[in-house]
Amino acid sequence: MKVHFLGTASALVTRDRDNSSLLVESGSDLILLDCGGNPAGKILYFNYRPADLNAVFLTHLHIDHCYGLPALLFHMFLEKRTTSLELFCPEEEFSALNGQLSSHDIENDVRTYSIHKNPVPLQETSALWETDDTLVYAGPAFHSRPTRAYRVIEKKSGRTVVFTGDTIPSDEVAKFAMNVDLLVHEATYLESHSDLASEYGHSTAGQAAQIALKANARALALIHFECLSGSSVEEYRSEAARIFKGRIYTPDDLSTLHL
């Protein structure tokens, strides 16, 4: 299993960091988790074609997590994709998703392949999506609009990754991520700005580390950075390391972790 970080920033991007999004290779499957920035160009960077994607999972529909979707879908039409694409988003956001695609006339413009839109309910007991190589489960996350976390399991290796999307720290997320190989948890702020994290429905690096500790995660990747007042990602790593003693990553955009 490989996890490619297409972006690692919060809604406030920097010169070197774009909005958070992951590309996961699981066996022969290629999965996109959230869809900000320029997803097509970044998928090409990793020597895949966007048309190779099997499924797209949206954690929620705040603009920085989904605004690249219409362009991605249209790009795959221009590539002459013919196989159906599975698209998932929280069931409470389904009308908003339809509105976004309708505003760009995607249903009419995309003519070479079908888009199978799947509402994601609030349940963890059965797989949301399954192939010969992969299982994907949806779990709870808690933000300022309906949000889901996703757990991706590569069947052959048993490797697992959990992606939280945007969320406040919660025991429910820790339970969903129990014994995961890699927890990719948002860490928008440092503890010095915990008031902002609480106000806007986000987590600090220290809070993300607490969730990784509770989940008995093997490794933690911090993303969704909002580097205020010149703070560096090393400060995020240091804050988390005071709590979580497993491996901690603060990945750069267009970097890869091998599980």
So which residues are the catalytic ones? Answer: 64
Helix axes 233-241, 205-215, angle to 10 degrees: 40
Query: Looking at beta carbons, which pairs linking 21-27 to residues 24 or more positions away fall under 8 Å?
Result: 21/65, 21/68, 22/163, 22/184, 23/48, 24/152, 24/161, 25/1, 26/1, 26/133, 26/134, 26/152, 26/153, 26/154, 27/131, 27/132, 27/133, 27/134, 27/154, 27/155, 27/156
Task: Describe the crossing of helices 94-103 and 69-78 by its angle, rounded to 10 degrees.
Answer: 60
Residue 102: beta bridge partners? none
Asked whether 229 and 13 are in contact (CB, 8 A), the reply is no
Nearest CA-CA partner of 148 in 163, 170, 131, 169: 163
DSSP three-state, residue 66: helix
CA distance 191 to 114: 45
Beta strand 55-57 pairing with 85-90? parallel
